[in-house]
Amino acid sequence: MKASELKNKSLDELQDELLGLKKEQFNLRFQKATGQLEKPSRVREVRRDIARVQTVQQQLRAEAKA
Instruction: Render pLDDT for 49-60 as a digit per residue (tens, 0 to 9).
Output: 999 999 999 999
Q: How many domains does the chain have?
A: 1
Distance CA 27, CA 18 (A): 14
* Cα-based angle 33, 55, 25 (whole degrees, multiple of 5): 15
Q: Does residue 2 register a pLDDT over 90?
A: no
Report the phi/psi class of residue 35: left, alpha or beta, with left for phi > 0 and alpha for psi in -120 to 50: left
Instruction: Render pLDDT for 12-66 as a digit per residue (tens, 0 to 9).
Output: 999 999 999 999 999 999 999 999 999 999 999 999 999 999 999 999 999 999 8
Average pLDDT of span 4-12:
92
> What CATH code is carried by the domain that includes residue 42?
1.10.287.310
- pLDDT at position 66: 84
**Which range marks the domain in which residue 12 is found?**
3-65
